[in-house]
Chain A
Amino acid sequence: MKRISRLLSDRLALLSLAVLAAIAAAGMLAPWLAPHPPDEVNMALRYGPWSLHYLLGNDQLGRCVLSRILYGIRPSVLLVLAAVLASVLIGAAVGMAAGYAGGRTDALLMRLCDVMLSFPGYVMTLAVIGVLGVGLQNILLAFILMKWAWFARIVRSSVRQIADADYVRFARTLGTGSLAILFRHILPVCVPELAVVASSSFGSTLLQVSGLSFLGLGIQAPQAEWGMMLSEARQSMFSRPELMLAPGLMIVLTVSAVNFLSDAMQQAVDPQAGSSKRHQPERAEAALIGREVA
């Protein structure tokens, strides 16, 4: 609770949270908010300027840019968020199992994680898309396949630290079942750290997924997606550079908000990290490097 109130007292964090909530809501309400259907082609309005009817103008096929941006929130943000959450859940389950069971199970699961993590992220993604074919589902599947190991490691190391704590031993002595101990006494302790790492990984995943869509490996036309809109805008980059503005700025806005929030959570979880009084290189830097540049 203290951590949450500390987080809410940070105005920048609150603002970031509001921005992200607004983006998510806009994505979910896109059919009602969008002024035009996102794939309505109107050749008479090609490269139309900003106007009252088309607030952000029209693209190379005369489609409404604002509507495409709104519909693009779904694949670009919401689906990526779902994929990150899925990998967090799988990772947490594996990590808790490994950390709590210990012994052989632990060793086996952690070796598996080592192998998964020894594949560089991009290569793994390209390998999965290479086998399964292009498409957003396959990219997200690749991310889930790859990222769970990273979360499993983090959860496992927190669980290992807590599994032998006095209060956990006490609960066990009282005859509390393993599952109850895991969910009531161990999981809540891991959540804050997991939230920090998951949020910073959300930002980098969003950038990477949009990059793969930009390369034409993700969502296919005529669906609206920010990376894809940028790839279309690039075709006319020399004559109409302004088409690159809206989708690019939306990505920058979303990722900045996510990163701000993640930094604020890091501060709330561990106020000392990053300040000069006490130094915890492992944690602060793990979160930073975990952000993995796209």
Chain B
Amino acid sequence: MIRYAARRLLTAVPLLLVISFLAFLLQQLAPVDPAEAVLHAQGVPQVTSELIAQKKAELGLDRPLLRQYASWLASSVQLDFGLSYVTGKPVWSLLGPAFMHTLQLTAVSAAAIILLSVALGVYCALREDAWPDRATRGAAFLLTAMPPYWLAAWLVWLFSVKLDLLPTSGMDSAASFVLPTAVLAVGYAGVYFRVIRSSMIAGRNEDYVLYGRANGLTERAITRRVLANSLQVAVPMFGMAVPILLGSTVVVENVFAWPGLGNLSVKAILGRDYPVIQAFVLLLASSFVVFNAVSEVLSGLLNPRLRKDL
């Protein structure tokens, strides 16, 4: 098992290298000269071509592309992403705290999503095609067809303005988490609970269930076993939900003025702050790959048959 985990995690390394190279190329494709942008960011009053050439040499931008990539990668691994073009501060000093804020929101939402989808999935599977099942699926259908920011705006209007129960925006207290988490949870759980429901329904027709019933197991015990088997489908799905969430809180963060990655990246794009965009892309794409590998290892842990592939 440890060997399997190690091998699976190692296969992520080449992919990470490719991704980092693509993220590196982003800056090469950008229509702004990095040396000039850095000079502007440092507040140099008169940007001359000598200054630019000097800065280029200082930043190593006159070296061959692969050499530049190597040194960029080496400093990126140490979380040194250079200076922001807009504020002139180190990129990580902006990205780090934002990442932590988004991570908090993601962690709370992921917990809510898992709880909600497992609960609804089991509940609906046990009442297949009865009215609670149909009602839940109908509601989920409608809610997942809604733009999340639209739903968010109505929730703010109802709970913050009309009822004055929750804060409209920001990240000041535990109450600030309620609305953003609700919006994210509804969107994802509305899709995921269907997967759990259908896999539970399929699982209930397996032979071991019949055997268990014949042996006099209670329905509770049977449901527990069917659920345990359904988790095989659910674990990789939830594993991938975390990085997808990390990248897709953008809209929700914007509505609730959450001081996270989503807000930062939109600001960086509008301000053409390439080092921040680049670091954001690298950070999220790497976490995507890592989470993917980890969730596969977890699935292997649950289902030994999957381990044979490697």
Do A and B form a real pair? yes
**B163 contacts the other chain (Cβ, under 8 Å)?**
no
- Residue among A211, A285, A288 with most chain B CB within 10 A: A211
Instruction: Indicate which residue in A133, A203, A241, A244 contacts B145 across the interface (CB closer than 8 Å).
Output: A203
**B265 contacts the other chain (Cβ, under 8 Å)?**
yes
**B214 contacts the other chain (Cβ, under 8 Å)?**
no
Q: Which residues of A contact B246 (CB under 8 A)?
A: 120
Instruction: Indicate which residue in B154, B161, B237, B265 contacts A126 across the interface (CB closer than 8 Å).
Output: B265
- Residue among A133, A134, A289 with most chain B CB within 10 A: A289
Instruction: Indicate which residue in A120, A210, A281 contacts B243 across the interface (CB closer than 8 Å).
Output: A120
| CB proximity of A293 to chain B, nearest CB, Å | 5
Closest to B150 in A: A248
Q: What are the interface flags for A224-260 relative to B under an 8 Å C-beta threshold, 1 for contact and 0 otherwise?
A: 0001001000100110010010001001100110010
Q: How large is the interface on B (under 10, 10 to 19, 20 to 34, 35 or more residues)?
A: 35 or more
Q: Is the CB of B269 within 8 A of A284?
A: no
Instruction: Indicate which residue in B15, B26, B150 contacts A118 across the interface (CB closer than 8 Å).
Output: B15
Known: A118-B288, A131-B29, A276-B201. A294 touches B148 (CB 8 A): yes
Q: Is the CB of B149 within 8 A of A127?
A: no
User: How many interface contacts (CB-CB < 8 Å) are there between A and B?
Assistant: 167
Segment at the A interface, from B33-41, B98-106, B188-196: B188-196
Q: When chains A and B are docked, how far (Å) is the Cα of A115 from the Cα of B14?
A: 10
Q: When chains A and B are docked, how far (Å) is the Cα of A114 from the Cα of B153?
A: 37
**B274 contacts the other chain (Cβ, under 8 Å)?**
yes
| CB proximity of A55 to chain B, nearest CB, Å | 21
Segment at the A interface, from B56-64, B174-182, B278-286: B278-286
Q: Is the CB of B18 within 8 A of A122?
A: no
Known: A251-B147, A251-B150. A130 touches B268 (CB 8 A): yes
Q: Is the CB of A251 within 8 A of B194?
A: no
Q: Which residues of A contact B237 (CB under 8 A)?
A: 285, 289
**A217 contacts the other chain (Cβ, under 8 Å)?**
yes
Q: Is the CB of B149 within 8 A of A211?
A: yes
Interface residue total, chain A, C-beta cutoff 8 A: 49
Q: When chains A and B are docked, how far (Å) is the Cα of A123 from the Cα of B284?
A: 7
**A48 contacts the other chain (Cβ, under 8 Å)?**
no
Segment at the A interface, from B47-55, B71-79, B248-256: B248-256
Q: Which residues of A contact B22 (CB under 8 A)?
A: 115, 119
Q: Is the CB of B244 within 8 A of A292?
A: yes
Q: When chains A and B are docked, how far (Å) is the Cα of A44 from the Cα of B303?
A: 68
**B277 contacts the other chain (Cβ, under 8 Å)?**
yes
| CB proximity of A217 to chain B, nearest CB, Å | 6
Instruction: Indicate which residue in B146, B201, B244, B250 contacts A252 across the interface (CB closer than 8 Å).
Output: B146
Complex A-B: 18 CB contacts under 8 Å: A120-B288, A122-B248, A123-B281, A126-B266, A126-B280, A131-B29, A215-B251, A215-B266, A216-B266, A230-B149, A230-B150, A237-B153, A237-B157, A248-B147, A276-B204, A279-B205, A293-B190, A294-B148
Residues of B within 8 A of A (CB): 15, 18-19, 22-23, 26, 29-30, 128, 141-142, 144-150, 153-154, 156-157, 161, 187-188, 190-191, 194-195, 198-199, 201-202, 204-205, 233, 237, 243-244, 246-248, 250-251, 254-255, 265-266, 268-270, 272, 274, 277, 280-281, 284-285, 288-289, 292
7 extra interface residue pairs, beta carbon distance < 8 Å, beyond A119-B19, A130-B272, A211-B250: A118-B292, A119-B285, A230-B150, A251-B146, A289-B237, A291-B144, A293-B188
